[in-house]
Amino acid sequence: MSTVKRALSEQTADEILKIINSEYRAGDKIPNEMELAKSLQVSRTTIREAIKLLCAINVVEIRRGNGTFVCGNPGMIKDPMGYRFLDKHKLVRDLYEMCLLFEPEIAALAAEKAIPVLLSKLKDASKNLAASIEDYNKGLIGIIQLIQSASDFHLAIAQCCDNNTLSRFEPLIIEGLLDSYYWNASLLTRYLSKYQDDLVAAIVNKQPDKAREYMRLHLNEGKQFFM
């Protein structure tokens, strides 16, 4: 690849990024190669290379046969905190400690700030977690799916805060914690549902102190696993 070509694909990636930042949101499909080539007046090959660069930094993802979509947290790479370089045993305890520290505050802020559209997403995530616990107990889904629902529930709470950085930190705390632990599944399902409805009600009813307290009670149920 010549230097000029490379520079052009990099410039094009920057142009596409600007378009994404101004017109698209996470999960949106962006225009196809041909449309981008036309509007940016470069070749389809250049577009293809630019898209590859944007894939590499997790700005877009190509879903084969379906198109190119904006990623959830553009620019965040896999394991951005370098957890793989930390001692696994201490990592679980550290993440749990951080979780105890931050999650109650996040729940309280969610109760202060959440607007109806975010609250309805939270209610959906809560229903989904409850359903996943049932499905898991019936053997219909596996542990990974259950953990994903639990993680989505915490993310939905963080998203109620309408704070981009919190939404990016949240998965690093909860998913990190849930991923790092080797689960005793029957205990897990009991733990996951504890105080869940009270917590959601407190956020929906805009009661920050109650939300903080229920999150604390919920997390304390997990002490047996993580410490």
Q: Per rule CB under 8 A, is residue 91 in the interface with a copy of itself?
A: yes
∠ CA 187-108-104 to the nearest 5 degrees? Answer: 35
Contact assessment for residue 20 and residue 29, using Cβ atoms and an 8 Å cutoff: no
Location of structure tokens 């094009």 = 12
Compute the least distance from the CB of residue 80 to a copy of itself, in Å: 3
3-62 residues in contact with a copy of itself (CB under 8 A) are 17, 21, 57-59
Among positions 2, 85, 117, 138, the unique one binding a copy of itself when judged by CB under 8 A:
85
Residue from 15, 33, 94, 221 touching a copy of itself (CB under 8 A): that is 94
Is 131 within 8 Å of 183 (Cβ atoms)?
no
Q: Which of 2, 3, 41, 165 binds a copy of itself (CB under 8 A)?
A: 165
Smallest CA-to-CA distance from 227 within 91, 93, 87, 88 is with 93
**Dihedral sign, Cα of residue 129, residue 132, residue 138, residue 139:** negative
Instruction: Note whether 74 binds a copy of itself by CB under 8 A.
Output: yes
Residues that bind a copy of itself (CB under 8 A): 17, 21, 57-59, 73-77, 79-87, 90-91, 94-95, 97-98, 101-102, 105-106, 109, 161, 163-166, 168-169, 172-173, 176
